[in-house]
Structure 1
Amino acid sequence: MATLTLKELRKQFTPEVVPVKNITLTVEDGEFLTLLGPSGCGKSTLLRLIAGLEQPTAGTVWVGEQNLNAVNPGDRNMAMVFQSYALYPHMTVADNISTSLKLRQVPPAEITQRVRTVADKLDISHLLGRKPRSLSGGQRQRVALARALVRKPDVFLLDEPLSNLDALLREQVRGELKQLFESQNRPVVYVTHDQIEAMTLSSKVAVLLDGLVQQLDPPSRIYTHPANKFVAGFVGSPQMNLLTLDCQGKVAKLGHCEIPLPPLAQVPKLIDLGIRPEALSVKGSEVSDQELVIGGKVFLSENFGRETLVSLRVEGSQDVIRALIPPDQTWNPEYTKLVVPFSSLHWFDAETGDRL
């Protein structure tokens, strides 16, 4: 068993290109850490630094008590699953899975037993004699996973392994991955730009932007308490409503609404308000004094089947609010009132973007 630790890890290609900027984090045994962020945020470079495929400009990579900076990639005992699967086309499935064991001169009988065990676990035993060209995308993905699992590595590294699968297959394999790695009791580092994968698979999520960790927390806290405006807008589908409002006294102005500000040492001129679409509902007959009512005209509705996403232009302003409305609620497109609990409001500094 081992803990993966990154200390002040930095990668600089040129003075202007620094994809990883002094990142420090720890992944314990059995933890599933997802590196989440948009393209170019540094997540794949960070994974390559862990694997040893890139050398850090500064900082260190540790597994347990061992500093791996001078250890070659092949000697780090890490298993990596690539987006492209990277299977050998001329080899059978069994040979693809067992390649790493043969290179380590594991006895043939043990190789056969370990390949059979992992193939049974991934339900690909019937494919062991076939070659990659005769497999579907989902089957190739399972073979790539089997090749990683059979090694019994110290750390698992997965680089967007589901991105080449169609939507239905991605959902199926995602569920299988969660069950599979829960039983491994090894550190797992998973790279994706798909927030659904991050939220459903992870025990921790590191949200990255411009080579920096914006927030490192369990998925539930990433969703309920985003550290800044970027995290708030990036995590959640549909995207969180983010509005820049004027402050007057101890209230923020949204159209004709006056919204009490949170306790602040100094009231700013502008403040950013975040409201998740799913936190809004159509106003009922009664409204609590702990709820905010927002009225306006619905100019767009999008039917998602189980709910409808409505876009409302706030009365008295040009601001737009989007709300997810369940099928048992109806609205008047000419004028609808939406209600949201004050406890569901998120406040951010308009200059820094930090959570207030």
Structure 2
Amino acid sequence: MARLELINLNKTYSPKVIPVKDISLTVENNEFLTLLGPSGCGKSTTLRLIAGLEEVTRGQIMIGGEDVTNKRPGDRNIAMVFQSYALYPHMTVYENLCSGLKLKKVASEEIKRRVTEAARVLGLDEGLMSRKPGQLSGGQRQRVAVGRALVRSPHVFLLDEPLSNLDALLREKVRADIKELFAAQGVPVVYVTHDQTEAMTLSTKVAVLDQGYVQQLDSPERIYSHPATQFVAGFVGSPQMNLLTLRCEGRNAMLGDFGIALPGFVDSVLPNVVLGIRPENVRIARLEDTQTVTGKVFLVENLGMHYLISVRVDDAQGNSPTVRALVPLDQPWSNERITLAIPPESIHWYDHQTGDSLAKKKMGRC
């Protein structure tokens, strides 16, 4: 058992290429941390720094209280599962599973015990053990790659987009297996993905990265319900959150022709603010709703259980901001004029310049 700590971790390739910038975080035993973000945000580089496959420019990596920043990968007692599986094509499944243990000169009986246990946990039956990777399906190859990591009994597991090569149905099945499997290991797990569904379903903690910085480190529930920055709000959630830059007039932010009341914590003179609200929180207005906007539906998308409608809000200045809402499948909405409720309790407010949450800053007034 060992906790993983990253302390002010930096990686610089050149003055203009700095993929990892002052990342500090801790992953405890039994925690599953996902590094989530778009391509180029620094998540895979961070994983490679932890593994020792990249050299740290500045900062520290601690495993179990020991500084491993300058240790070789083989001396860190970590196990990594790669996106490409990285199996030896000329070896059988059994030989792939035990290859790392043989390099460490583990006793033959112990190797057999560990491989047998990993195969049992992963559902790799005896008939597969003599096959080579080219004779396996994508899901089976992924299980072998995970099994090779399991048999090492490492202090930390690292997984770099391990499901990206699988089709959608198989990805869902293997994702469930991974969640159950690593919950039983009792060691820190760091998982890299750009897929928010994987991050939200697998993790106990999520670090959302952008341009080398951690934008927010929190539970999946908090990441979704209380996004700390405009970037997190826009990146996490499907359909994507409505993010609208609005001009301020007194104590209102103007959404087209309609005033949206500003909360008390927005209390400095700002020309603009960003309003964020998820489509599932926007609804067809009822008589009791006091904060509403009216417009015309110009796009209807069938999502199976709901329609996602896009509404051009009435605007005398001709800007016609668009609000998207999830609505029932009970009528054809195309070209309808409708009134939408914008519930105040569902709105997130962001600084137009910095993208930071105004609720978190507790400063700024229009």
Report the TM-score when normalising by structure 1: 0.97
Aligned to 1:304: 303
From 281, 285, 294, give the equivalent of 1:283: 285
Where does 1:41-52 land on structure 2 (aligned, <5 Å)? 41-52=41-52
Cα offset, 1:332, TM superposition:
6.4
Q: Does 1:184 align with 2:185?
A: yes
Cα offset, 1:107, TM superposition:
1.3
What letter is aligned with 2:177?
Answer: E
- Count of aligned residue pairs for this structure pair: 353
What letter is aligned with 2:97?
Answer: I
Query: Larger deviation: 314-323 or 161-170?
Result: 314-323
What letter is aligned with 1:270?
Answer: N
Query: What SS is found at the alignment partner of 2:140?
Result: helix
Aligned to 1:313: 312
Where does 1:1-356 land on structure 2 (aligned, <5 Å)? 1-125=1-125, 126-263=127-264, 264-284=266-286, 286-289=287-290, 292-316=291-315, 317-328=319-330, 331=333, 333-356=335-358
Cα offset, 1:224, TM superposition:
0.8
Q: What are the superposed Cα offsets for residues 303-356 of structure 1, whole Å, 9 maximum, x if unpaired?
A: 111111111101224101111223357646320122232110010011111101
| Aligned equivalents of 1:325, 1:99: Cα separation in 2 | 55
What letter is aligned with 1:192?
Answer: T
Query: What SS is found at the alignment partner of 1:14?
Result: coil
What letter is aligned with 1:62?
Answer: M
What letter is aligned with 1:151?
Answer: R
Query: What SS is found at the alignment partner of 2:18?
Result: coil
| Aligned equivalents of 1:218, 1:308: Cα separation in 2 | 29
| Aligned equivalents of 2:59, 2:284: Cα separation in 1 | 52
| Aligned equivalents of 1:208, 1:326: Cα separation in 2 | 34
| Aligned equivalents of 2:267, 2:283: Cα separation in 1 | 32
| Aligned equivalents of 2:63, 2:9: Cα separation in 1 | 14
Q: Judging changes above 3 Å, is the alpha-carbon distance between structure 1 residues 232 and 294 closer, same or farther for their aligned structure 2 residues? A: same
| Aligned equivalents of 1:74, 1:324: Cα separation in 2 | 51
| Aligned equivalents of 1:207, 1:33: Cα separation in 2 | 10
User: Which structure 1 segments of 5+ residues have no match?
Assistant: none
Aligned to 2:363: none
| Aligned equivalents of 1:283, 1:149: Cα separation in 2 | 53
Query: Larger deviation: 151-160 or 293-302?
Result: 293-302
Report the TM-score when normalising by structure 2: 0.94
CA contact (8 A) 2:122 2:147 kept: yes
Cα offset, 1:204, TM superposition:
0.6
CA contact (8 A) 2:300 2:334 kept: no
